[in-house]
Structure 1
């Protein structure tokens, strides 16, 4: 029996939300282009949470699936998106890609992955620093 979880809680943290010139909702974008707003914490930060599926592809390779997961195998990511609240030709003000780059060994006995994405910007290519929480 594998210690790799079938599902994993994912939480993205923003210490400060960006200020926009137009009305938009901000949150995790699903494949249906719905934006799931987060929750504000006592310290003023915002958390955006969901569940993703984890699949062992063999040879230490892991893949992800689920309504919040975008991209192709080997290049999966989450979208943290600003969606306009009025009809427009382009519904998105901006979107930030948050890559899901893990191996099987990274996630053995994992229950949650968390990342502070406060400083991440659209089109960023640097890796995200994830914190992995493990079950005992």
Structure 2
């Protein structure tokens, strides 16, 4: 098995689905895991509490706010020292036929799926480059 012992991993959208699976796998491989969630604190807390040791750290982030993204990445870097691995997993989709999706729903999808991914990467990358990751 691949080991990520002593690596700091940040997973966006980690409280359920693919993100929660990533949290479990990186944790099992020895990483210190920080994951974000949007609004379901109960799901985030349940995931954290499902581990006995080296508990993951859950962090609520508003991916519609560049300011909140910057503040939360600074928080992670301040408290954990670095981010070795970034998994941009946060995403949304407003289901429906293309001709029935409102522009508001389309823009919300683009904001979360593309713009927030860019902003998180932009904030994390200098630290990763500094540490040669």
TM-score tier, shorter chain, comes to: under 0.3
* TM-score normalised over the length of structure 1: 0.26
* TM-score normalised over the length of structure 2: 0.26
Return the structure number with greater relative CO, CA threshold 8 A, min gap 6: 1
Greater helix proportion? 2
